[in-house]
Structure 1
Amino acid sequence: MADAAMTGHGRRVWFRQGTPLKIAVLAILIALIVLPLVRTVLFTLQPETIRAWSDVLTGRLSTNLFYKPLGNTLLIGAVVSTGCVLLGGFLAWLVVMTNVPFRRTIGVMATLPFMIPSFAAALAWGALFRNDRVGGQVGWLQGLGLDIPDWLAWGMVPTLIVLTLHYFSLAFTIIAAALATVNSDLVEAAQIAGAKGRRILMGIILPVTTPALVAAGSLCFAGAVSNFATPALLGLPVRMQTLSTRLFGMIEVGQVGRGYVIGILLVLISGAFLWAGNRIVSGRRSYTTITGKGGRAKRFDLRGARWPLFAVAMVVMLSSTVVPVIVLTASSLAPSSANLFSDWTLHYWIGQSDPSFAQGIPGIAYNEDIVRALTVTLGLGLAVAFTGMFVGLLASYTTARFREGWMSAAITQISFLPLLVPGIAFGAAYIAYLGAPIGPFPALYGTFALLVIAATAYLLPFSVQTGRAVIQQVGGELEESARITGAGFARRLAAITVPLAIRGLAAGGILIFVKIIRDLSLVVLLFTPTMPVLSVLAYRYASEGFGQFANAITVVILFLSIAATLIASRLQAKSQPWLQS
């Protein structure tokens, strides 16, 4: 009897600590995230593929296979991260700490560029600056008679500009949040002591915001080195290779072993810089700026520089948001990008096949490939929004309600691991993982299921973050009361947690929807003619010289992204009424 009582007690403790749920969630995360990465490494260590390591690192082709792309990749990462911190920091300082006119407008517009796909900005750049070096249509500026130099039309310089204008909004968001916590007492004390504005900036504000600067720089670096679309569209035509484009090229031509090795090295490089950034921040502790004392915001008086600095900020905002949208829309209507704002036609939108126009390719409304891609993309977005939020909710629920034990720590660490893996490398990992049969399970390459599984795993950090916010809105005592009455886990989740936080869940799901429908790097390797998606189709059209079709598809993606983002913002405001004040 005593043994039975002890066994029953141990079983109750086991369930009360959430051990079965932890095991289930951990198994799901290992299957989604860890196994693809492990499978990729093991594939390169097989006898027939292990030579790929020496080919990439020490072989006679290693310079072109790895070291030149590595140099380009590191240069892009260093310049873009520096530019993003300077540009994002400047705008954050203007919005948070100065009396610049229309601060709120600048703040809202500064968050928009990251919502626009990087390949959209790259396509817009080509429509404006493309010259005749690689043949095909020239851009609008050369169409006006201007001589556009090669360095401005193709290669490293436009890649750096486009990526900086894309990622600076990420730096702005991080740095602005840090500047908002700077205690005005520090600034006022320095002013009383006679310190000038430059001294205050260099001696107080910059040291206090160092963690945010490092975090913003490391995230922008990781994003830039893993970006595929921009260097592919602006660099590949002049044979400028980065690790991401080289990885894509190797797998495209069937040299998957070399491609996987490059992917593994890309993961290590991206992860190393993110780790170093976190290490620098965590190693410094003297950044306390929020105390028990209240403080009003202290803004610098720009005096006569108010309007000039506002003009500088608006030039950056318009260049990164409004101009690309206008150029893409105009290009989707113009027969030639050289005549961007004249002789507009709706053929690229609603025209039927005409052998004398656009090589007989019909407009997107009548193009079966594009219509199918739109259907697949919308289905993929909805499916990933559901599966991502479901898995993310399970993971965040487990770590929030059952925090003790190593399994909870492992769930947290694994769920954020995809942040360290560039999208194109993650796509390559899933080809190695599910591209071939595993025991009784068939190969999934070219199927909708592979797209959903890979995208769910890749976006898991965002769904877990959203799920964590949702769980924090629901008091644990409600579920505890239901548990006492005999309600099981599934019953409590379905009857209490989900209904009470449905708006937050819906908003998070919509944001995941937006991220996947405009993603290119993850799906570019998973694309097949039988399972097309809009972003890859736009890239293919652009690569083949059909810029108008590519830009029209991109406008559709932008419309879907903006509409879904506005819906998500509205849902978040209703689920969090304090945001409306």
Structure 2
Amino acid sequence: MTVPLRRLRPSLARYGLTAAMALILVVLVAAPLATILIQTLQSGGGAWADVLASRLSQNLFWRPATNTMIIGLAVAGGCVLLGGFLAWLVVMTDVPGRPLIAFMATLPFMIPSFATALAWGSVFRNGRVGGAGGLLEGLGFSVPDWLSWGMVPTIVVLIAHYYALAFTVIAAALSTVNGDLVEAAQMTGASRKRILFGIVLPVVTPAVIAGGSLAFAGAVSNFAAPALLGLPVRMQTLSTRLFGMIEIGQTERGYVLAILLIAISAIFLGIGNRILNSRRSFATISGKGARPRRFTLGTMRLPLALLAWTVCILTTLLPILLLLAASLAPSSLSLFSDWTLHYWIGAADPAFARGQPGIFHHPQLISALTTTLMLGAGVVFAANALGLLIAVALTRQKVPVLSNAVSQLSFLPMLLPGIAFAAAYIALYGAPIGPLPALYGTKLLLGLALTAAMLPFAVQTGRATVAQISGDIDEAARMTGAGFFHRLWAITLPLAARGLAAGLLISFVNVIGDLAITVLLYTPTSPLLAVLSYSYASDGFHQFANAVTLVILVISMLATCAATLLRGRRRQTFA
């Protein structure tokens, strides 16, 4: 039986698009990960033995792994408690100022973790490990080492950074709790405590586990906070140890650490999924409509509101104000006196700041700013273009098995620690591949890695946007003879423009604030802003580091505000 060519073409087009996306994802995601595993096995597994079972293994893996686990579990627990508390206040109580508290509670994740770490150092740093002390030491307080450096400040900084994730997930789950359950319990005389722990908490268990898992994965892979607050006292985590191995040329050991770091993240995410799957049902939404029920806080209304506002201010406004003061003060011992603009616009002076000019007089800053903006724009456009094509393939042109593989591969970078992902790119593309030259130390390698890392955000944004466009419009255009790319350009892009632009801006914020990937892959002759800030801080030039970090924050906040405005207009358009 002969199949008509016009009936065969749609199938070929569908298969071709999905297959092309699968091939690109193999190149960007699967191949680098497979390469690091292969390279660690090529030498007979010697690198594995060195890391896991040698006299060096205690310092190479076991102690950093223990520190990583402690930080990950503590941050996950702290984020669930803090984010869950704020989510409960905003969604289920009559606390005043709920919308503004909800907005403030989502901002910390937009502030790079190294910014919060620098702000912590401006207040709590002591001079026992070299360099100047912080504000408290300048006021005459003796700040203990455990509060200045190491495990405790790293955990606090990471909780302040990641609790926004737990808040967002738990708040979304609490908003779906059927108010009839709460009302029925109140009618039987159940106390507020019994309702909270007996009804509300069990039904939002999936969100609690998801929020804790996201915070854990972020904490164990974070490089900036343990590097700035832990390395001065030789506290190593897997991410900082991995960076050290790559930096000194022990790449195979670094790749082993990358695989182990990925495995730890995967194991704990798998445990969370297993716990969720073991529960029979979390259903709280039925076919009947139900009004939300809010707890009346009574005399605790104002104290709890004050507590919520204190948390929000300490994790959003205060770090920014401290960074601003620390970028103007000659000494962090006295943050609010003798301010000077030298660290911003001053010319080089041998008698001041060891001859370092202000950041806007330093050619490296201008180069880093230009490179960051251009690379960020290029990465987000490439990632969102791929994300849109993948979204179209998954939403409109499904292919059995292959579509599922594309979906899984596009989401995989979300689960991978950034610094381990960067190590995988060095393993595959750091050396020549046939006629292709080595990309190590080039902007192209950095751009490819960041594009792959942004794909989960781009694909999810693309799928959500494409799903709102009726397939009948595309089918009608196809019937008139319009080709795939013509339909994409003339129909899909205009209708999805605002949603895609909002996703593009959010991806841009993530790119310019990324340190875990860029610290391994940046071009030495032209570092990015995040790497420049880290380099200044590592060399003891904290005022310059704070100033560069504020530049990043200003760019991030402008992009975030633009994304918020676009989303607001998009909601009005579809209302």
Kindly provide the amino acid, as one letter, of the partner of residue 360 in structure 2. Answer: A
Matched, 1:379 2:374: yes
| Corresponding position of 2:5 | 8
* Contact 2:343-2:358 at 8 Å conserved across structures: yes
Q: Whole-Å Cα distance in 2 between the matches of residues 171 and 301 of structure 1?
A: 24
| Corresponding position of 1:445 | 440
| Corresponding position of 1:24 | 20
| Corresponding position of 1:260 | 255
Which of residues 106, 117, 122 in structure 2 aligns to 1:111? 106
Kindly provide the amino acid, as one letter, of the partner of residue 28 in structure 1. Answer: I
Deviation at 1:14, TM superposition (A): 2.5
Matched, 1:36 2:32: yes
* Contact 1:448-1:531 at 8 Å conserved across structures: no
Deviation at 1:469, TM superposition (A): 1.3
| Corresponding position of 1:192 | 187
Q: Whole-Å Cα distance in 2 between the matches of residues 535 and 300 of structure 1?
A: 44
Kindly provide the amino acid, as one letter, of the partner of residue 22 in structure 1. Answer: T
Q: Whole-Å Cα distance in 1 between the matches of residues 187 and 550 of structure 2?
A: 53
Deviation at 1:279, TM superposition (A): 2.4
For residues 136-147 of structure 1, what are the structure 2 equivalents within 5 Å? 136-147=131-142
| Corresponding position of 1:508 | 503
Kindly provide the amino acid, as one letter, of the partner of residue 43 in structure 1. Answer: Q
Q: Whole-Å Cα distance in 1 between the matches of residues 280 and 83 of structure 2?
A: 24
Deviation at 1:443, TM superposition (A): 1.0
CA-to-aligned-CA distance 1:56-112 (integer Å, 9 cap, x gap): 000111011000001000000111100100111111000000011111111111001
CA-to-aligned-CA distance 1:496-547 (integer Å, 9 cap, x gap): 0001111111111111111000010111101232231000110111011000
Q: Whole-Å Cα distance in 1 between the matches of residues 487 and 498 of structure 2?
A: 18
* Contact 2:71-2:220 at 8 Å conserved across structures: yes
Q: Whole-Å Cα distance in 2 between the matches of residues 282 and 381 of structure 1?
A: 39
The SS at the match of 1:342 is coil
| Corresponding position of 1:54 | 49
Which of residues 99, 113, 116 in structure 2 aligns to 1:121? 116
Deviation at 1:13, TM superposition (A): 5.5
CA-to-aligned-CA distance 1:24-69 (integer Å, 9 cap, x gap): 110011100000111111111122x731110000011101100000
CA-to-aligned-CA distance 1:101-135 (integer Å, 9 cap, x gap): 11111111100111100000000000100001111
* Contact 1:393-1:463 at 8 Å conserved across structures: yes
The SS at the match of 1:59 is coil
With normalisation by structure 1, the TM-score equals 0.97
Q: Whole-Å Cα distance in 1 between the matches of residues 3 and 496 of structure 2?
A: 38
| Corresponding position of 1:100 | 95
Deviation at 1:143, TM superposition (A): 0.6
What is the aligned-residue RMSD (CA, Å)? 1.3
Kindly provide the amino acid, as one letter, of the partner of residue 42 in structure 1. Answer: I
Task: Name structure 2 gaps, 5 residues minimum.
Answer: none
Which of residues 451, 463, 469 in structure 2 aligns to 1:468? 463
Q: Whole-Å Cα distance in 2 between the matches of residues 397 and 544 of structure 1?
A: 48
Identity of aligned residues (%): 59
Q: Whole-Å Cα distance in 2 between the matches of residues 564 and 10 of structure 1?
A: 45
Which of residues 341, 347, 356 in structure 2 aligns to 1:346? 341
Kindly provide the amino acid, as one letter, of the partner of residue 327 in structure 1. Answer: L
For residues 145-156 of structure 1, what are the structure 2 equivalents within 5 Å? 145-156=140-151
CA-to-aligned-CA distance 1:386-409 (integer Å, 9 cap, x gap): 001001111111000123400100
| Corresponding position of 2:570 | 575
Segment drifting more, 100-109 vs 117-126: 100-109
Q: Give the number of aligned pairs.
A: 575
| Corresponding position of 1:491 | 486
Which of residues 316, 320, 323 in structure 1 aligns to 2:311? 316
Deviation at 1:563, TM superposition (A): 0.4
* Contact 1:131-1:139 at 8 Å conserved across structures: yes
The SS at the match of 2:333 is helix
Q: Whole-Å Cα distance in 2 between the matches of residues 167 and 389 of structure 1?
A: 25
Kindly provide the amino acid, as one letter, of the partner of residue 520 in structure 1. Answer: L
Q: Whole-Å Cα distance in 2 between the matches of residues 72 and 291 of structure 1?
A: 44
Deviation at 1:21, TM superposition (A): 0.7
Kindly provide the amino acid, as one letter, of the partner of residue 54 in structure 1. Answer: A
Deviation at 1:278, TM superposition (A): 2.0
* Contact 1:538-1:554 at 8 Å conserved across structures: yes
Q: Whole-Å Cα distance in 1 between the matches of residues 69 and 144 of structure 2?
A: 24
For residues 407-418 of structure 1, what are the structure 2 equivalents within 5 Å? 407-418=402-413
| Corresponding position of 2:330 | 335
* Contact 2:126-2:148 at 8 Å conserved across structures: yes
Q: Whole-Å Cα distance in 2 between the matches of residues 403 and 209 of structure 1?
A: 33
Kindly provide the amino acid, as one letter, of the partner of residue 99 in structure 1. Answer: D
* Contact 2:108-2:160 at 8 Å conserved across structures: yes
Kindly provide the amino acid, as one letter, of the partner of residue 5 in structure 2. Answer: G
CA-to-aligned-CA distance 1:300-357 (integer Å, 9 cap, x gap): 1110001111111111111111110000001111111111110000011111111111
| Corresponding position of 2:235 | 240
With normalisation by structure 2, the TM-score equals 0.98
* Contact 1:447-1:531 at 8 Å conserved across structures: no
Kindly provide the amino acid, as one letter, of the partner of residue 573 in structure 1. Answer: G
Q: Whole-Å Cα distance in 2 between the matches of residues 13 and 335 of structure 1?
A: 67
* Contact 2:95-2:304 at 8 Å conserved across structures: yes
CA-to-aligned-CA distance 1:235-276 (integer Å, 9 cap, x gap): 000000100000001111111111110001000111111122
Segment drifting more, 336-345 vs 281-290: 281-290
Q: Whole-Å Cα distance in 1 between the matches of residues 102 and 332 of structure 2?
A: 32
| Corresponding position of 1:459 | 454
CA-to-aligned-CA distance 1:133-172 (integer Å, 9 cap, x gap): 1111110110111110111001001011111111111000
* Contact 1:182-1:289 at 8 Å conserved across structures: yes
Deviation at 1:9, TM superposition (A): 6.6
Q: Whole-Å Cα distance in 2 between the matches of residues 535 and 331 of structure 1?
A: 17
Q: Whole-Å Cα distance in 1 between the matches of residues 398 and 80 of structure 2?
A: 35
CA-to-aligned-CA distance 1:203-254 (integer Å, 9 cap, x gap): 1001100000011111111111111100110000000010000000111111
